[in-house]
Chains A and B, each alone.
Chain A
């Protein structure tokens, strides 16, 4: 062995971990090498010094503190053990309980008729009526535009109305802004939009107001305050109605056709909201149950066809025209529904209303 090997094996030598032959060789080298002998002796003393260090003793309350820690932390372990252990029993039990609760919730959901109906009602509204996406303010604006055509705007309200329109947010306005109750300028709407049943009743009242308002326009008897009140009521009714559909027909006698249409509309469960005389015809604002719109259009076509046929045959008579109701019943058997049925149907609020702006142009 050389000095380097002695240094490498000195620790094992002190711990008696060398083989007998290695130990013999190690000792032979130490006999002849005083440096290595001194190094090994210093290492032995180092180990002895380290080993002679005093034992560090714990405090007198060490045992108490250990037991306190065990007891203090025990509740959490006991809780988790009670919750999950033994897991082969607890986990299946907890899973079964979860399934049972879910089943019960589904059972209650399906046994409560209001919940599925309400859900279907919501989805139907959002899918079928783009009107649901309109903001409250847009609907107010539409109603104002429609009613404004048939009723004069008081001078005091004109400026406000223009201002209101200029400030009206676009359809992309924030929902919070759109949800804020908006009122027509110069008007006070203290109630939110009516519920369906209330809308039907309110719309019925609107017919009377619209008719009287139309008469008021022609007779120029209404004062500014009365008109404003009528506008308010009509806006309230129209706010719950869809955007108007515009229909235009031409007639040899626009006034005559207008009278026939006005006679037809109540039979279809609808109302004439207003009338406006034009230079080249008549404008009518009509509200109808949506289910009766097709019948109305059919009757309108039948009437215009009959008028053209009469004109072609030169048989146009100055007498009062036959009731349009009869023609409509012939062309559209669905019109045979009685007025009572129509009223009941409309009052139930199951049929949404549609507003038609009918322009009858006078043929020259």
Chain B
């Protein structure tokens, strides 16, 4: 999508003109997306909310340097991704949650079935979140931006400042990794059922 077709460009111009309400409309539009990326990258809801606020503060002060070369959403995701990665480096805490396999096995869920039960859906969602957090940062951010946020390959490449081929390979490996983990859960559940 060309920058001229950016649906947010009008709001961006108003913000640059000093319109705080236009900025607030941008915040309301993108706050959950920014928080979603931050929460899945950091794995901490409270910290993610604080980071999301910092992202919008950065956006507010940096809008003067945004000249519409890319979509506003792409630019926003770039700031979000960079802020998340910097925060991760700063805190130097790589969480490796190894208990999800046991959790899923204990729940007795079939991830590839279509869970209609609300409790099952929430439980499955929590386990999927953990599986995503087990991925490497490079694979995780691509998977989040593509399969959760719905960005195109080109937008992801622009947001992360990487080549298109890098996006394809990272996304493919992330999906295969998630598939393998879910498949392992299924096989464990099958073995447990047969044992019973």
Interface residues of A (CB under 8 A from B): 7-8, 10-12, 15, 17, 42-43, 45-47, 49-59, 62-63, 65-67, 69-70, 73, 77
Contact = CB atoms under 8 A, between A and B. Distances in A.
Given A54-B125, A55-B36, 11 more contacts: A7-B176, A12-B168, A12-B172, A15-B146, A46-B182, A50-B178, A51-B148, A56-B39, A62-B53, A63-B28, A69-B53
Query: By DSSP majority rule, is chain B's interface helix, strand, loop, or mixed?
Result: helix
B52 interface: yes
B171 A11 contact: yes
B172 A47 contact: no
B57 interface: yes
B148 A53 contact: yes
Given A46-B179, A46-B182, A53-B148, A65 B129 contact: no
A50 B49 contact: no
13 contacts: A8-B172, A11-B172, A12-B168, A15-B153, A45-B112, A50-B143, A50-B148, A56-B48, A58-B31, A58-B52, A62-B35, A62-B53, A70-B61
B183 interface: yes
Interface in B177-191: 178-179, 182-183
A51 B31 contact: no
B54 to A, nearest CB: 7
A17 B168 contact: yes
B24 interface: yes
Contacts of B171: 11
Interface in B21-73: 24, 27-28, 31-32, 35-36, 39-40, 45, 48-49, 52-54, 56-57, 60-61
Contacts of A54: 125
Nearest to B164: A17
Nearest to B36: A56
Given A42-B112, A50-B128, A57-B35, A62 B179 contact: no
Contacts of B178: 46, 50
B61 to A, nearest CB: 7
B94 interface: no
Contacts, number: 91
Given A51-B147, A53-B125, A66 B27 contact: yes
A49 B182 contact: yes
A52 B54 CA distance: 27
B111 A49 contact: yes
Q: In the A-B complex, list the 5 residue pairs whose CB atoms are closest, starting with the nearest.
A: A11-B172, A46-B179, A50-B147, A56-B36, A66-B56
Contacts of B61: 70, 77
B31 A62 contact: yes
A8 B183 CA distance: 18
B39 A63 contact: no
Given A11-B171, A54-B125, A66 B57 contact: yes
Nearest to A41: B112
Contacts of A7: 176
A43 B143 CA distance: 13
A67 B178 CA distance: 38
A66 B39 CA distance: 17
Given A11-B172, A55-B36, A56-B35, A42 B125 contact: no
Contacts of B35: 56-58, 62
Contacts of A47: 147, 175
A100 B122 CA distance: 71
Nearest to A11: B172
Nearest to B122: A54
Contacts of A53: 125, 128-129, 148
A286 to B, nearest CB: 82
Interface string B134-172: 000000000100111010010000000000000010011
Nearest to B39: A56
B175 A69 contact: no
